[in-house]
């Protein structure tokens, strides 16, 4: 079992990022304000079933609850660093697709010839080829 020191060391980067990142603090603040609004609207001496029926029937309260959850989710993703890798992941995906197309036995040779023709400025493959495969 991990010691308390190990657990604190594991959480420390997340806490530091949350404290130093203004956008995370803004999302947490927005979530808190939305949650406080919902709490203020629901409170008022109501029983649990009365509050549940109010939540189910009141579109404004459901919208505020949804906003609260979205703000907290965005803040959590940002603290964990999930939003920072989208450009890298997109680049890796596009590179993988390009490599797959270039080295695919079906599309690869034709695509490589087309790229080679485009790169040398031969006019985009408008030349005709003979039946033996040579260009004229």
pLDDT in tens, the chain (136 residues): 577 787 777 777 777 777 787 887 888 888 888 777 777 777 666 676 777 777 778 888 788 888 888 888 887 777 777 656 677 777 777 888 888 877 887 778 888 888 888 755 555 444 444 545 555 4
Q: What is the pLDDT of residue 122?
A: 52
Q: What is the pLDDT of residue 120?
A: 57
Reported pTM: 0.41
* Domain range list for the chain: 4-80, 87-119
Q: What is the pLDDT of residue 119?
A: 58
Q: What is the pLDDT of residue 45?
A: 63
The three-class DSSP label of residue 123 is coil
Buried b or exposed e, range 43-79, using 16+ CB within 10 angstroms: eeeeeeeeeeeeeeeeeebeebbebbeebbebbeebb
Tokens encoding 76: 């959590």
Q: Rounded to whole angstroms, what are the CA distances from 36 to 54, 75, 78, 103, 125?
A: 16, 17, 22, 57, 65
């Amino acid at each position: 079992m991990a010691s308390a020191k190990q657990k604190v060391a594991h959480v420390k980067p997340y806490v530091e990022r949350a404290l130093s990142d203004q956008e995370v603090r803004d999302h947490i603040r927005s979530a808190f304000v939305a949650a406080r609004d919902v709490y203020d609207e629901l409170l008022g001496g109501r029983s649990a079933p009365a509050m549940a029926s109010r939540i189910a029937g009141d579109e404004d309260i459901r919208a505020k609850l949804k906003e609260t959850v979205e703000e907290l989710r965005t803040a959590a993703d940002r603290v964990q660093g999930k939003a920072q890798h989208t450009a890298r992941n997109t680049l890796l995906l596009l590179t993988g697709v390009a490599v797959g197309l270039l080295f695919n036995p079906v599309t690869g040779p034709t695509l490589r010839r087309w790229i080679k023709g485009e790169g040398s400025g031969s006019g985009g493959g408008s030349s005709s080829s003979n039946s033996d495969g040579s260009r004229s």
